[in-house]
Amino acid sequence: MAHVLPTAASALAAPKAPGVLFDAMLTPHRSLSPRGFLVLMSLVCAVSFAAGLAFFLMGAWPVVGFMGADVLLIYLAFRINYRRARMFEEVVLTRDALTVRRVDHWGGEKRWTFQPYWLQVRMDDPPEHESQLTLRSHGKSLIIGAFLTPEERLSLARELQRHLAVCRCAPGPVSI
């Protein structure tokens, strides 16, 4: 599996089925591994316990509850973050259609299909932080890869444009 960029959160996979010219699975990047999460939460718990104990020994025992609430809120924030990391977008190009499938963190799925011949891929070059990768065709547009870095979006846009150009130019079966 080759990455869009060396540190990309999205990966371009080899075609899965005959007739598939381009197949990309786009996933959000999460820098903290499960082991890192365990280490971080252990440190947060240790600091919170030590501070809570110090306040308790000074007679300010109600502070202990707030220290525990802080730990709980940090834990919940990370759980929400990990749940959102389950979302992904899949972009599949064949000679007849470019299909985008977006699955949200709850498992809800949406699909968009574009005819490749008329499809425009738009992206600022050089990319800026707010640059969007947009697919446009017949007055409709779709933003994809919003969770990717600007460089990753640009790399994906270039790959899509390259594959679309090959798809448009070849009258028969296409191989890349």
In a domain, 174, yes or no: no
Q: Assess whether 157 and 100 both reside in one domain.
A: yes
* Structural domain that includes position 98: 2-29+88-169
Q: Assess whether 55 and 117 both reside in one domain.
A: no
Q: Is 108 helix (H, G, I), strand (E, B) or coil?
A: coil
What are the C-alpha distances in Å from 141 to residues 4, 45, 116, 138, 144? 23, 47, 13, 8, 10
Residues 82-131 have pLDDT tens digits of 888 889 999 999 989 999 999 998 889 999 999 999 899 998 878 788 88
- Name residues whose C-beta falls within 8 Å of residue 156's C-beta, 6 or more positions apart in sequence: 4, 10, 24, 26, 91, 133, 144, 145, 148
Q: pTM above the 0.85 mark? A: no
> Can you give the pLDDT of all 176 residues of the chain as single tens digits?
333 433 333 444 444 667 888 999 998 887 888 899 999 999 999 999 999 999 999 999 899 999 999 999 999 998 888 888 889 999 999 989 999 999 998 889 999 999 999 899 998 878 788 889 999 998 899 999 998 989 999 999 999 999 999 888 766 555 55
In a domain, 132, yes or no: yes
Percentage of the chain modeled with pLDDT above 90: 55
How far is Cα 155 from Cα 10, in angstroms, rounded to an integer? Answer: 10
Q: Assess whether 109 and 162 both reside in one domain.
A: yes
Say how many domains are in the chain. Answer: 2
How far is Cα 33 from Cα 70, in angstroms, rounded to an integer? Answer: 21
Q: Assess whether 42 and 101 both reside in one domain.
A: no
In a domain, 176, yes or no: no
